[in-house]
Amino acid sequence: MFLNTKKTCIHLFMETNQISLSPKMEQANQFISSYIKEKNVSPTYQEIADHLGVKTRSRVAYLIDQLMKRTNLRKKTGVKRALFYEQ
């Protein structure tokens, strides 16, 4: 189905992006959320990589960037263990 207005297409695209997560993103989101609840501090990129079974922290950085776009996950700049969920 084609939509004629650019505004409508963008709106639908944004809604879809906010709710659709890949299985790896969902796994990362669940891990980060449970880690923060359990330890009151966010996991390091290395801890996330180890849990997900990915080899590089750059892959974790990509997943976190995508989660920040699609969920309420946020990151404080310049601080270690700086992931948090915005209310």
Per-residue pLDDT tens, the chain, 87 aa: give them: 444 444 433 333 444 445 689 999 999 999 999 999 999 999 999 999 999 999 999 999 999 999 999 999 999 999 899 999 998
* Residue 36: inside a domain: yes
Q: Is 72 exposed, middle or buried (0-12, 13-18, 19+ CB in 10 A)?
A: exposed
* Residue 65: inside a domain: yes
The domain that holds 62 is classified in CATH as 1.10.10.10
Q: How many domains does the chain have?
A: 1
Confidence (pLDDT) at 34: 97
Positive or negative, the CA dihedral 13, 14, 17, 18 is: negative
Confidence (pLDDT) at 6: 43
Segments forming the whole domain that contains residue 54? 22-85
Confidence (pLDDT) at 19: 67
